[in-house]
Structures are given as structure tokens and as C-alpha cells.
A and B are shown apart, each in its own frame.
Chain A
Amino acid sequence: MNRAIRRWSVLTLLMFVALLANITVVQVFWADELNARSDNRRVLLEEFARQRGPILVGDTAVAVSEESTGRFDYQRSYPQGPLYAHATGFYSWVYGRSATERAANDILAGTDETLFARRVIDLVSGRPPEGGSVRLTLQPAAQEAADSGLAGMVGAVVAIDPATGAILAMSARPSYDPNPLADPNAEVQEQAWTAYQTDAAEPMLNRAIAQTYPPGSTFKLVTAAAALESGDYEPDTVIPGPAELPLPGSTTTLPNAFGGECGPSGQTTLLDALRISCNTAFGALGIELGDDALREQAEAFGYNTQPLVEYNAATSVFPDTLDPAQTAQAAIGQFDVRASALQDAMVTAAIANDGVLMRPYLIAEALAPDLAVLQVTEPSEQARSVSVATARDLTEMMVAVVDSGTGRNAAIPGVSVAGKTGTAERGAGQTPVYWFTSFAPAEDPQVAVAVVIENPGERVDVSGGQLAAPIARAVMQAVLLEEGGQG
């Protein structure tokens, strides 16, 4: 029996070695990742004992830690509440952190390695450690214009500086007040959390970046880009634009939203097709170009890649393998094509920036507690979406949309605006999604914006041009006024 016991001893030894190896993995190699998780209350407890750095928009703190007599020495507050809630996120003892509070936590909490030397000094000098601050790319005027434009609706706005990718406005309605979630009283936090979570309007959902919708006619920009890039089309190329497009392999047809032909005897030009948002012309164009060309172009604009990863932005989707009928629908932003407001703004921004898509970002810089600059986000190129020539052609076509097409509501006196409307059908029983995306000035773009309205509230029987274009105009004006004021 002893031989068997010796063999069993070896197995037992292996079991214990496995235990030791496993705790080594958990406590040493996995520890950093576990400690960084936002629902880890141990780390929160340690953090709550420290003064957390503010989140700045311009020079205004939109999230700030103040001394408190409550459970912890400091309490987080958000002076402007819902206005910046989707950007700041919340910072809760019970529910963890989100958005910037999560993405920039190391800096804000003072645990980032760039702050290490300072921490050592704090430790030696006995000074309570302090977190660094984070400045966002948002512009207050643009953010406020976006937010008030969305009042009473369910929707979102994203504005981007086309030349850098800096996000100038990121607004979504409804929003929520992050203050109760940072309350020292856990019951207050719980009540607020329950109210937000059970609200059917989902106020904590950041519709600007984390929600995708069918992009509808705004996707015609991508289809038009693919056509121009193919070399076979110019803005004045004549293409068929019948009242109804029979879908290959099926008995259904694709009609125009306005019912009727897009031009005399069912013929139109690429420019006019975009200007009046002709479904049949773009559907046929999609079939002609094929789904591979559309997908390639969509991906060059950022589809099928997650943007703004640190903010858990949604990935916009152009689906794999489509048959010709599906391709026709995809070409006008229907079928399974999905885009976030951020993605739509990225398409427009790339067109505005001579065809170069800049990687969107929200954190401009990180500052030490003494306001010394720790990190600055350098603008970086994400992709060349289209050639300079194509970008110019698309700009010309988009200017026509605002000048004399479906996007007239976005016109700004004295400024040439380039834009595109969209009204996308969703499933049966759901309201359509209203879109508008634009940039201005067309000859020297300062701002690209996308507006999506999921539920217009009181207003019915409207279109993207009527509903979303005025909001886009207000946001563009706010940015241009700001730039003008500074320049």
C-alpha cells in the first residue's frame, strides 16, 4: 500500500502546488486588473480618502471633490448636473464609476504612474495625496446649444473638430443627475440608481456614442463616396432615379420617400440624387457598386471599428455579405446598417477634413494637482477615408443639400453649410429615426456635427431636415461664434 500512498502524495503535492501557483496569479499577475475594476469597493474606499481631481470643460470644473463631513472626507459634486453627465459619468461608492470618471480614473485618483514621484513626496511629507485633473475637449457653448436643442426629445448630438478629431459637443437626452449617485448616504444613491435604471427612457444611456441606429439617408454620403472613389462617377453623372426600384430576387420595391421620380423621365444626377435624397438612385447605385465596395468605404469612415474605446462607445456596423436586394437597402442606410451619432459625425468630419478621418477623442489633457501638464492628447489620423478630390465633390454635393435640397433648415446666413438629412425607418410600431449631419464653413470647416432624434416628443410627422437640422445649425453657430470670438 505504501507505493500507492507515495504516488498519491505526489498528486497531493501537485494539488497544493496548483493552489500556490493560482494564488500567485490572482494576487500578483491579475491584481492590477482586478484593482482597476470600477466596482471594486476596496480601491474606492482608498480613493474616497483622497481628494479627487476635477474634470474641466474649458476652465470650469464640471466635476469636483469638496471636503465633506459625511462618511468620507471628500464628496464629489457635479455643478451642472445633467448637462455634462454623459461626459463626466458618475462616481459612486456603491455603483462604481463611469465615462470620464472611469476612463481617467488613474489621473483623477492620483494613482497614475505619471503622478508617482508626487505620491512618494506626499508620503514622505505626510501631505494628503491629491489627484490630478482632466480637461475635456468639449466647448461649453456648443454643449449648451446641443443640450437645449434636444430639450423634450430623445436623441443625441455629437460635434467634432474635423481637423483634430476633438469632440466639441457630446450631448444626449434624456440625461441624469450624477450628484445623488455621489451622495454620502448610500440610500440616496440607491434611490437615484433605481429611479434611473427603471426609467423606460434610459437616462443613463449615452445615446451620443453608446447607441446605434439605422443611419438612413445620411448613409448616402458613404454610398456617394464609394461611387466617386470608384472613378466611374462624377457629381454630374446621370443615373437612373425611378419612382420605385424593383429589388432583385423579390417582389417588393424600394420607393422614394416623397413618392415620384427623382428627375424628368426617371433620370437624375448623382448631385441631385443626394440633394433631394433620392432612394431609388442610391439603391440602384448600391447594387451597381456591390456590397464589398460599400463595406470597404464604410470601414474607411470608421464602421466596424470601435471608436472611443475608453468610453465604451458602440461599434457602428456595416453587415457582412449582403444579397443585391439587401445591398440596395444598405446603400440608403437601412437593412442591418447601424451607426451611432458619433459615427455619423465622423463621416462628415472626414469629408470636411479633405478625406482624412481624425481619431475622435474627448480628453484634451491631464494636469497634475499643481496644474502642470502631464499628458496632452495629440490629434492622430485614423484613416484616409476618401481622396481629396472625392472630399471636394462630396462637399459640393452637401452644400447643394443645404442650399436648395432637404437640408435648408441648417442654413446659416453668410456661411456656406454642407449637410445631409436622414429619416430612417425602424421596425414596425417604432417611430422613425431623424438625422442631420453637417459641417461649416464648407470652404474652411471648423465643426462637423451629427444629430439623431429617436423620439421627437410632441412633434409628429416631421423629417430629419425639419427636426434635426435646426439643432445642428445651432451647434455649428455656437462653435463658429466661439472660434470667431477667439480669432
Chain B
Amino acid sequence: MTSPAPPAPVRTGSGRWIELVLVLVASAITVGAYANVGLGTSGALPDQLVPYSVGVVVVGVLAHLLVRWRAPFADPVLLPTALALNGIGLAMIHRLDLADAAQADRLGVPVPSPEAPGQLVWSLVGIVLLVLVLWLVRDHRVLAPYTYLTFLLGVVLLLLPLVPGLGVEINGARIWISVLGQSFQPGEAAKVVMVVAFSSYLVVHREALALAGRRILGVDLPRGRDLGPILVVWLLGMAILVFELDLGAAVLFFGIFVVMLFVATERVGWLVVGVLLAVAGGVGSYLLFSHVQERVSAWLDPFGDPDANYQVIQSLYGLAYGGMLGTGLGQGQPDLIPFAESDFITAALGEELGLTGLMVIIVLFGVLVARGLRAAIGVRDPFGTLLAAGLATAIGLQVFVVVGGVTKLIPLTGLTTPFLSLGGSSLIMNWVIVALLLRVSDAGRRPAPAPPPPLAEAQTQAVRLR
């Protein structure tokens, strides 16, 4: 009697070598963009090119090595994609520094201090944070148990800018806090904390929330008594909108929660309820708040009020001027767009890298989101699934809202572009998101523990049960 051969273990490569190659490609993009800025603005390679190149490669390879050590089965595309985006953002911020310096020179005023060095430091902090998260969080499930504590932490972070003396209002939005002369956007951290809180909450309650209520037009709506949580998050979003005047964050938080509810329950009804609530909130805020009306009219007809909509118009002009192939890094005038280095960095990139370059960048974000959602599908525990799906959704929605706003697809809402925009809080928290996605994907792709040997060969005795 021949026993069937045990199934050969499926050897899926860990992908670490692929990751190394891609990290080197990302380094090449980062260094190439930097060199290009120098060539485009002054016609010469930047003086710091060699040390910068060495630094970029060393940091990239070190991050890769750490992933290899602490998350050996993690998705190999996540880290290089994030590195490439971060590098492109750094090059553009440096480029805008040069434009500001040249402008100051022309006008004979003092040259403003450059932003790129600070952003470079924040990039390093972000990567260190990535390392720390991978090191300290060996299993993402350790984040699961403290549902309400995490939620509370998220709310506190969100409301921190409203604390008198701590919060500061910049450009009409009260979303910053100032500590020791440094300003932070606690909302960025709140985003990650909230995704964790939503995940742990939904893991426990998803079956109850999946129970169908009334059926209308072929869609099972949730039961009325289950509407509590979504209403709480909706009210939170409205609070952000009303008190911090931050339309973008309000949309983002609510959107993430609705998508996670849908993922957790597989009920389209939640999407319907979410959309209805969002529409109600949107219409309500449109009727109540002039700044929301301004955003909408700026979107519908930016040229109706060229002075008020200067920023969007300049953004469109930049994109149009870039056209198909772009002016080349350092050769356009992206500094004509106010806040080109923060919210409007995609317009600056679209001008100098053209449609072609901007498409690459959007596709890179798409890859990041797709890989995050893939990790969510691949992981075996529901908490991991929800966490990865929520984090990937956070990036996807944020990119859609900010890039769509800058390019006049949807009304403009102030949000940073992940990895690209100037701003430490946003950058480091996006690195934390990547770290968590690496962690979840590592769990999902880790080969199952070796199966127990077949019964026949086992050193066991059959036990007869009476």
C-alpha cells in the first residue's frame, strides 16, 4: 500500500531580492530627480550629489535589511514605492526652495530658509519610525485589544488643535498644534490611531452589524439600532468640519469608517447609509458655511472669481503648461502656485514632469493602495484584514481627495499628499502606515507552520474509543 506523497510545500519566494532591486531603483529615481533639479535650474549637477546619493542608497538598503530581518515575508513592493514617492517629494521641495531663493534674489530681499533640509530630516525620522514599528510590533494583533482606549486617543489627537494655547490656526484651518516652536498636525496621527480603533471595534461587532434590517430597492439596510457607531463617527467628522474648518479630514475620517464597515460586514447597505449621511452633512454644511460654498463655486467655475480662486487657477495653469511631457524638473514655474510645496505639490509635479510623470506618480500611489488591499486579503485574522484595508483606504481616499481637488475633479479640500507634501507629521505617519502594512503583509505571506506529519508515519497509537 502506497500512501500518497505529502503535498510539496508551495514555495513562494519571500521577494526580498526583488525588494532590494526595487529599493535601488527607488534610490535611482530619488537621486536622478535631485540631479535633474540641479541641471534644470543652474545647468550643473548639485554640489551635494555624491553625499546625497550615498545617503539615499544607504538608508534605503538599511531599511530593506531591517525588513528582511523583522518582516521577512512582507510584500516587497511597499517599501520601494514609498521610498520613491518620498524621494520625488524631496526633489520637488528642494526645487521650490531654489525658486524661492532666486525670487528673493531678484527682489533683493533676504533668502527664506529652505524647507528641503527639514523635510529630509523628517524623512529619516519616518524611516526610523518604520524600523521601530516593525521592531516593536512583532504581531499586529497586539494592537487589537484596547478598542475604546485607542478610540479615545484618536479623538483626543483630533481635538488637540482646539485646546487654547496649544492649537494654532494656519491659513484658515485649525488643525495644527505648536509644541516647542514646532508645529504638528495631530490629525495625521489620529488617522492611524482611528484605523486601529475602528478595526478592533469592528472585529468584535461585525456580526451584529451585518444583521439585515429593512430591504429597500434590493439593498438590505442596517438595523436602526446599529446606527449608533456610524452616527458617532459622523458627528466627529462634522465636529472637525465645524470647529477646525477642515473639510478634507472630515471627509477622510468618515470615508475610512464607512469603507471599513462595508468590509467588515459585506453589507452594501452600510455604503448606502454612509453616502446618505455624507450627502446630508455635505448639503447641510454647504447651506451653513460660506467656506464650503466658496469651495464648491471655486470648483464649478474657478474663473468666475479669479482673485478668490487664484490657487486652483494657478494649479490648472501649471498643469496645462506642463502638458504631455512637462517642462522638465527645474524648468517650469511651479513657484507661481501658492502652497506648491504642500497641498499643491501634485500640480507642481504635473507642470515639470508633465502628464507622463504625474501619471507615474498616481500609479505609484495606486500600487501602494493595491498592495495594501492585497495584504488585507492575504492575512488570516480579521483584525489584520480590517487594519490593512483601513490603512490602504486611508491612503487611497486621501490621494483621491487631494489630487482630485488640485486637478479640479472634485471640490478642493485641504489635505496633504502622502509622502510628497512638505510637512513632518504627515510624512512620518505615512511611514507608520507603510510599516503596519508591511507587518500585516508579512503575517499573510508567512508560510503556514509546517503541517503535522501524516498520521500513518506518526509515532502514535490509535486509540479506540468505546
Contacts and interface: CB of A to CB of B under 8 A. Distances in A.
Interface of A: 1-6, 8-9, 12-13, 15-16, 18-20, 22-24, 26-28, 30-35, 37, 39-43, 45, 71
A15 B350 CA distance: 18
Given A35-B321, A40-B317, A5 B362 contact: no
Nearest to A32: B320
B259 interface: yes
B236 interface: no
A35 B336 CA distance: 14
Interface in B92-123: 106
25 contacts: A1-B264, A8-B389, A12-B370, A12-B373, A12-B393, A12-B396, A16-B396, A16-B399, A18-B400, A19-B404, A19-B409, A23-B359, A26-B319, A27-B322, A27-B358, A28-B323, A33-B320, A34-B316, A34-B319, A35-B320, A39-B306, A41-B317, A41-B336, A42-B321, A45-B333
Interface string B368-383: 0110010011000010
Nearest to B313: A39
Given A22-B407, A27-B358, A42 B369 contact: no
Nearest to B318: A42
B324 interface: yes
Contacts of A13: 366
Given A9-B373, A43-B321, A24 B355 contact: yes
Contacts of B305: none
Contacts of A9: 370, 373
A16 B370 CA distance: 11
A32 B323 CA distance: 9
Interface of B: 106, 259, 262-266, 303, 306, 313, 316-324, 332-333, 336, 350, 354-355, 358-359, 362-363, 365-366, 369-370, 373, 376-377, 382, 385-386, 389, 393, 396, 399-400, 403-404, 407-409
A2 B377 contact: yes
Given A4-B264, A15-B396, 18 more contacts: A1-B263, A1-B382, A4-B265, A6-B377, A9-B373, A12-B393, A16-B365, A18-B409, A19-B409, A22-B408, A22-B409, A23-B359, A26-B407, A27-B322, A32-B320, A33-B320, A41-B317, A42-B321
Nearest to B202: A1
A5 B385 CA distance: 9
Given A1-B263, A6-B377, A8-B393, A15 B400 contact: yes
Contact of A8 (B265, B332, B373, B409): B373
Query: Ordered nearest first, which 3 A-B pairs have the shortest CB separation?
Result: A34-B320, A31-B320, A22-B409
Contact of A1 (B323, B385, B393): B385
A6 B354 CA distance: 32
B317 A42 contact: yes
Nearest to A35: B320
B245 to A, nearest CB: 25
B266 A1 contact: yes
A222 B363 CA distance: 64
Given A2-B377, A4-B266, A18-B409, A27 B369 contact: no
A16 B395 CA distance: 12
Given A1-B386, A27-B324, A28-B323, A18 B259 contact: no
A30 B262 CA distance: 37
A40 B365 CA distance: 30
Contacts of B359: 20, 23
A260 B354 CA distance: 75
A31 B370 CA distance: 31
Contacts of A2: 377, 385
B288 to A, nearest CB: 28
Contact of B259 (A8, A41, A71): A8
Contacts of B358: 23, 27
A16 B386 contact: no
Contacts of A30: 316, 320
B373 A19 contact: no
A28 B324 contact: yes
A30 B370 CA distance: 30
Contacts of B106: 71
Given A1-B382, A8-B262, A8-B389, A27 B373 contact: no
Contacts of B370: 9, 12
B354 to A, nearest CB: 7
A19 to B, nearest CB: 5
A18 B403 CA distance: 11
A5 B359 CA distance: 24
A9 B376 CA distance: 11
